[in-house]
Chain A
Amino acid sequence: MPALRKPLPFPLGAPDWPAAVPRPPKRDDLGVNYDTAWARSYPVRLARAAYTELVTRPVMAAVAQPTVAGLDRIDHVEGPVIFAANHSSHLDAPLVTSVLPERFRHHIVTMAAADYFFDSRLKAVYFSFALNAVPIERTRVNRSSADRAGSLIGLGWNLLIFPEGGRSPDGWGQPHRGGAAWLAARSGRPVVPVHIKGTGRLWPRGARRVYTGQTTVTFGAPIAPDLPARELVTKLEAAIAALADEAGTDWWSARLRAAEGATPPLRGPEASPWRRAWALGPSPKDAARRRRPAGERRWPPRA
């Protein structure tokens, strides 16, 4: 129980704040105000390129073992573009970055929750470096973070954004927020729908360890921003749902269902929580146990 864990005594742990001393207002250079410009300087970009190639990609290849589909649909697209993906795990951003074609991979900015990834200096520095993350306010509309994203597109950076605004709490999709569509409408750049399948099983929200397994990343055809932002949101959500269907079945049958308006919704069945959880299938933990007959030792494996 984390709440009952005894904190380390000072000075190994953090000191108590004396009750008689008023706490100063929190430093406001973290969170949405964190300045990530340093992470886009040329030397840091070089270092990140090396980190992505030597660390992120091998780790993602080992952990998430991705199958990538639909890259041909973005072959002809000229940047900058906005990649909009469903979100169920912390693996999503590094996974998408690692499977992108090289021309996008080293020139992409990830929009990351200011309250989660930028709440401490250490995290802010790490995510700015490793993912080229930029803080975005997800709890309320923040003009400055939207302006910042807009100006980055103006500078030629591609964006990776998760329109659901956070990882899925139960493995199913959540309603889309308007950020990606609004940015596309404002900048006039196309949105590429991306569906990520399987990461929610490997490292779901709240999990303490990461499992290894197979994932699929499917890129969809770019959506031109020639619709009002509200309609663009609906279209993007439908496009990602269709990609999910495609990843689970095949392109043709997914197309047919999409044409009939029968694409299975990403948000899962409207049912009680246990049935929603049940509909996700067996957990990777159980699957790992099943692969090993009961009582068999883990290591060393039998010859």
Chain B
Amino acid sequence: MPRPGFVLDVDRSTPPVLVWHGEGFRLERLPAERSRVVYAPEPLAALRDPDDAVRQALESPLGGAAPLRQQLRAGMRLTVAFDDLSLPLPPMRRPDNRQRVIEAVLDLAASAGVDDVVLIAALGLHRRMTEAELRHALGDRIFDAFAPSGRLLQHDAEDPAQMVVVGKTDHGEEVEVNRRVAESDLLVYVNINLVAMDGGHKSTSTGLMSYRSVRSHHNVRTLQHSRSLMDRPNSELHSSAWRIGRFLGQHVKVFQIETTLNNDAFPSEMAFLQKREWEWGVRDRASFLAASRGLELLPPSTRRSIFQSIDAPHQMTSVQAGEVEAVHEVTIANLHRQQVVDVEGQSDVVIFGLPHVGPYNVNSIMNPLLVMCMGLGYFFNFYIGKPLVRPGGTVIISHPTPWAFHPVHHPSYIDFFEEVLPVTTDPLQIEKGFEERFATDEWYRHLYRTSYAYHGVHPFYMWYWGAHALEYAGSTIIVGGDRKAVRRMGFKPASTLADALEMAEDQVGRDPAITYFRCPPVMLARVS
């Protein structure tokens, strides 16, 4: 029986706790009697037979939808869209959930005699996936059956011939969607719900739409009013995405399939990363010492290669299919079962140790903008109710924050960092003064469409993702980061965690209460 998450009040007997630091980790001792550590629940048991569970879900869908078998017929146009490489994190061991689900869908389509089937990677404005990444997500059988005949597509939000405007919501949000989706008799969307932000109508209204649609929810106003991004009823971003999704649902029949994973994120050789420190046995301590000392000797690029090669032993804990909203409600309940930790009250300081990978640097570099997005966008928003830190409190992030960018994946990030941030770090000013130019830049558009680059506007979204935290928190300190890069973003650099805690006292007063959010594994703090 996996144990639930819990909050440890740090006292003198508490051993040092593990803090992630990019491609590495450290043991840090937290001040006794005024610190606490939030630990994630242990991984839930996996479904005993996930393939059978998928088949069951397709046969008995939720929300009044007819079983998928009954919706398939010869001569129809079927489109299967699936989440891109930003999910799950770290990438899961094969077979991926998407492979299991899509194979089951295709089995049904084959037996119903559906010839016109197209698979679309729902990239939104993310970079295209490489063949290896597609094979990892879908499996070789699907890739070899669909890719050679051009029936495995990657969503291209900048291809005017492939996008079609289907209308506007009652809030004036434009709905411009992939033409193939709009013209399909049935869209089957296959999702992996790693965090509470994913899934539901957001899958289609982000993954299969254009910049014109995405900008109606990916903007500073909605993100400042998304409290949090991980709590849909209180997220302005999701309200907009839901309106767009519902509008799309009036034109396209959508059959949503959502899956959840347990939080078993690291292979057994690195089991100590998931364990509570006082339960580390000899093997865990030896692994920690060998890994941390070994990593110190390696150059950053080798460290990155090692960490990016980690495949998580995640396992499917639930699968549900049918009408989008009914499905998503069950998905979120299942996700909460794995991720929610109850936390009492806020603190003056919150500490986040950022790992090596986020949604936008799979097989890539976590550049300073992604550090900001992970810390202030994702980790800060892993709450329901109230943030872990009080208004005006201090956020401390541990990450090396190198001044390094992947030139193929993140070209517009480089220019954003060099041209925009020196002028202002205010999200509203950035949005007003720079977004349009980057979003419509022909070179970025070309790279997005033909290379493996994120869309020109993507670095802006990274910055907006942290807009709520920037407005809410009093200061942000990055421990162990490149000083110039940290200052460029308007944050304060600190050499050690102890220094950062000293610096935080200038903002929040002496002897502040501290919360260390020990993530990964991914969790969601329900703060009362």
Contact = CB atoms under 8 A, between A and B. Distances in A.
Interface of A: 10-12, 14-21
B15 interface: yes
B491 interface: no
Contact of A18 (B11, B27, B289): B11
Given A17-B278, A18-B278, A21-B8, A11 B13 contact: no
Given A10-B285, A12-B285, A12-B289, A21 B11 contact: no
Contacts of A15: 15, 277-280
Which of B11, B13, B279, B289 is packed against the most chain A CB atoms within 10 Å? B13
B30 to A, nearest CB: 11
- Sorted nearest first, the 3 A-B pairs with minimum C-beta distance are A15-B15, A11-B285, A18-B14
B8 A10 contact: no
Nearest to A18: B14
Contact of A19 (B11, B277, B279): B11
Contacts of B15: 10, 15-16, 18
14 contacts: A10-B15, A10-B285, A11-B27, A11-B285, A12-B289, A14-B280, A15-B278, A16-B13, A16-B15, A16-B278, A18-B14, A19-B11, A20-B11, A21-B278
B95 interface: no
A10 B16 contact: yes
B4 to A, nearest CB: 13
Nearest to A20: B9
Given A15-B278, A21-B278, A10 B14 contact: no
Contacts of B278: 15-18, 21
B211 interface: no
Interface of B: 8-11, 13-16, 27, 276-280, 285, 288-289
A127 to B, nearest CB: 18
B8 A18 contact: yes
Given A18-B10, A20-B8, 7 more contacts: A11-B280, A12-B285, A16-B15, A18-B8, A19-B11, A21-B8, A21-B278
Contacts of B9: 20
Nearest to A19: B13
Contacts of A11: 27, 280, 285, 288-289
B26 to A, nearest CB: 11
Contacts of A20: 8-9, 11, 14
B13 A18 contact: yes
A281 B14 CA distance: 52
Contacts of A16: 13-15, 278
Contacts of B277: 10, 15
A18 B289 CA distance: 21
A14 to B, nearest CB: 8
Find the residue from A12, A19, A20 having the highest chain B CB count within 10 A. A20
A21 B10 CA distance: 10
A10 B13 contact: no
B276 to A, nearest CB: 8
A214 B276 CA distance: 51
A15 B8 CA distance: 15
Contacts of B11: 18-20
A20 B39 CA distance: 14
Contacts of A12: 285, 289
Contacts of A14: 280, 285
B376 to A, nearest CB: 30
Contacts of A19: 11, 13
Nearest to B286: A11
A266 to B, nearest CB: 41
A16 B32 CA distance: 14
